[in-house]
Structure 1
Amino acid sequence: MAGVKALVSLSFSGALGLTFLMLGCALEQFGVYWPLFVLIFYVLSPIPTFIARRLSDDTDSTSNACRELAYFFTTGIVVSAFGLPVVLARKQIILWGACGLVMAGNAVIFLTILGFFIVFGGGDDFSWEQW
């Protein structure tokens, strides 16, 4: 039952993050949909970690080159997702209020993705593969 609660809470937080993103785009005073390009970063961010977990060996060493490279790429994707709204706001394509809402949505979504890896990423008897 703990897995169902975790899944429901992760779903709720993901929906909350997407709501912030949509508010940053669709509110009447903002009305520009350029910030939706951060959806690409949401899709790309877990891919390096998935690949690294698939390719790396199952040793519990503290340093693994494949995982470290995946963390590096994931960090670059996350920083780019936070940088895109700032660049759009600096070039006056979107307003700063929309930038703030998109940044709040980014924080919630990326914390949701991190929570997914924490809850369902372990190799113990309960994992995300059963869903």
Structure 2
Amino acid sequence: MFFDSRLVSLAFAGSIGMTLVILGCALPKYNVWWPFFVVLFYILSPVPTLIARRYNENSGNSSPSVYEVAIFITMGFVVSSFALPIVLSRALVIQWGACFLTLAANVVVYATLLGFFLTFDSDDADYSMW
């Protein structure tokens, strides 16, 4: 039951993050959908960590170099998702309000992803398929 409440709270936080991205794109004042490309970074950012975890489980190798490469690639995605709205607003493609909404969404979504990995990485988690 404890993990179900965590899962619900993570889903709620993720939906708040996506709402902030959509508000940054769809409000009549902004009305530009370029900031929505950060969703691609949201999707791609956990993939290297999941692949590294699966590789270490299947190979029996516990070398930290695989995790370090995965963290490096993940940080590249995270930095890119924060840099994209800033570059777009500096180039006057989007307004600064849309940039700030997208940056706030980045903080919420990445905190949600971090919470997901911290919650379901423990040994007593019922959701061991992750």
The letter of the residue matching 1:65 is S
Query: Structure 1: which 5+ residue stretches go unaligned?
Result: none
CA contact (8 A) 1:121 1:128 kept: no
CA contact (8 A) 1:121 1:127 kept: no
Summarize the Cα distance change of 1:127–1:52 in structure 2 as closer, same or farther, 3 Å threshold.
farther
Query: Structure 2: which 5+ residue stretches go unaligned?
Result: none
Write the distance in 1 (CA, Å) between the matches of 2:52 and 2:129.
20
CA contact (8 A) 1:52 1:70 kept: yes
> Which residue pairs with 1:116 in the alignment?
116
Q: How does 1:1-131 map to 2 (within 5 A)?
A: 1-56=1-56, 64-122=64-122, 124-129=123-128
Alignment coverage as a number of residue pairs: 128
Write the distance in 1 (CA, Å) between the matches of 2:72 and 2:83.
16
CA RMSD between the two structures: 1.7
Write the distance in 2 (CA, Å) between the matches of 1:2 and 1:127.
10
Identity of aligned residues (%): 50
The letter of the residue matching 1:128 is Y
CA contact (8 A) 1:52 1:66 kept: yes
Quote how far apart the aligned CAs of 1:127 are: 4.3
Write the distance in 2 (CA, Å) between the matches of 1:40 and 1:73.
14
Write the distance in 2 (CA, Å) between the matches of 1:70 and 1:31.
35
CA contact (8 A) 1:14 1:112 kept: yes
Using the size of structure 1 for normalisation, the TM-score is 0.91
Write the distance in 1 (CA, Å) between the matches of 2:27 and 2:44.
27
Quote how far apart the aligned CAs of 1:121 are: 1.9
Using the size of structure 2 for normalisation, the TM-score is 0.92
Structure 1 residue ranges, 4+ long, deviating more than 3 angstroms after superposition:
none
